[in-house]
Amino acid sequence: MSKRFSSGLLLILVIVIVHGSGCKQARVARAETDIKLGERIYLENCAACHGQKGDGKGPEADRLKTKPRDFTTGQYKFRSTPSGSLPRDEDIFRTVSRGVRTTSMLAQLHLSEKERWAVAEYLKTFSPRFHAEKSVEPLAIPAKPAFTPRLIALGKTEYQEAGCVACHGADGRGDGRSSKDLKDDSGNSILSTDLTLKPFKSGPEPEDLFRTISTGLNGTPMPSYGNTLTEQERWALVSYILSIATRERPRGMMGLVGEETQAMMIDMRAAMGGMMGGKGMMRRGGGKMDKNMKDMMGR
């Protein structure tokens, strides 16, 4: 090997090492910046319910029937990953962005996309699980089949045989024999979902319901059926649930449902009283309030 070639190869290796080190440092700096931004946004918009420590014990938590998520456990209900697994970053971002209908977790669309990603990154700092465990591949959601009468009938059978009746009741109204005794992993009493009412917490699309049936809801009695029901059986169950979801939940001010109204009042108190920096969702347009006002006005 010539000296000229050896010197050139050494120079290339040095450049690669230095460039790689520089990229790594840049990624670390960017991550630290995102976490700092996420912390600021979290304290302004989330701490009133979820608490400054992320333990779900914010000053407004006692007012709510559906208790705020305790992020320190690393248990997330709405995920695309198998039961017991951590959520993917995309899952956290989706919940921050869309909210959880009927609960105090409103869609945070008043935040920019960058701010929502920063909050998602910051939420992971509350639980050591995100450092100790590797990320898991999401469960695949196959293409939605046609919801034929035959598929709906199969879904009704699966609803009975899979044990959904015990919690959700024979007619899906959330009045099953076990519904009054349900608790989450923190010991909080929780209600079985009335499947005849829209909107659903998991999201507005059939795929959202399929995902919940497949993954289960970590930290709650809702199990995963990803390994016990085939894809066809899960789609059949989705088709049956949608066939009985014929009622709309009562709407309050600005079209809000359930505890969404309380969440809006919490945000108003925060904005007027100086809590969370006196900001919250009312600090600029584009959020849940703005969207619902436009809907009401037919715009």
pLDDT in tens, 234-276: 999 999 999 999 999 999 888 899 999 999 888 887 777 654 4
Return the closest-CA partner of residue 98 out of 191, 174, 211, 183: 211
Same-domain check for residues 63 and 124: yes
Same-domain check for residues 243 and 209: yes
Same-domain check for residues 51 and 118: yes
Among the three residues 228, 248, 268, which one is the final residue of a domain in this structure? 248
Q: For residue 55, what is the DSSP state?
A: S
Confirm whether 6 is domain-assigned.
Answer: no
Q: For residue 248, what is the DSSP state?
A: E
Same-domain check for residues 260 and 239: no
Confidence class of residue 294 from pLDDT cuts 50, 70 and 90?
very low
CATH number for the domain harbouring residue 30: 1.10.760
pLDDT for residue 15 is more than 70: no
Confirm whether 8 is domain-assigned.
Answer: no
CATH number for the domain harbouring residue 210: 1.10.760.10
- Give kind and range of the element (H or E) at residue 198: strand 197-198
d(CA 82, CA 55): 23
Same-domain check for residues 264 and 125: yes
Same-domain check for residues 242 and 168: yes
Same-domain check for residues 34 and 68: yes
Same-domain check for residues 61 and 191: no
d(CA 53, CA 74): 13
Confirm whether 221 is domain-assigned.
Answer: yes
pLDDT in tens, 219-239: 999 999 999 999 999 999 999
Confirm whether 32 is domain-assigned.
Answer: yes
Range of the domain at 47: 26-138+256-299
Confirm whether 75 is domain-assigned.
Answer: yes
pLDDT at 33: 65
- Cis ω for the linkage preceding 199 (within 30 of 0): yes
pLDDT at 273: 61
Confirm whether 128 is domain-assigned.
Answer: yes
Same-domain check for residues 181 and 268: no
pLDDT for residue 9 is more than 50: no
d(CA 172, CA 195): 5
Same-domain check for residues 83 and 64: yes
d(CA 270, CA 164): 40
Among the three residues 248, 264, 291, which one is the final residue of a domain in this structure? 248
Residue type, position 161, single letter: E
Same-domain check for residues 228 and 163: yes
pLDDT for residue 137 is more than 60: yes
d(CA 110, CA 263): 15
Same-domain check for residues 30 and 130: yes
Confirm whether 156 is domain-assigned.
Answer: yes
Q: For the chain, what is the total number of helices (H) and then of strands (E)?
A: 11, 2
Confidence class of residue 87 from pLDDT cuts 50, 70 and 90?
very high
Residues facing 183 on adjacent strands: 189
Q: Are 185 and 191 in contact (CB under 8 A)?
A: no
Q: Are 33 and 16 in contact (CB under 8 A)?
A: no
d(CA 168, CA 172): 5
Confirm whether 264 is domain-assigned.
Answer: yes
Cβ-count burial of 78 within 10 angstroms (0-12 exposed, 13-18 middle, 19+ buried)? buried
Number of domains in the chain: 2
Q: For residue 108, what is the DSSP state?
A: -
d(CA 249, CA 146): 26
pLDDT at 115: 97
- pTM for the whole thing? 0.81
pLDDT at 136: 93
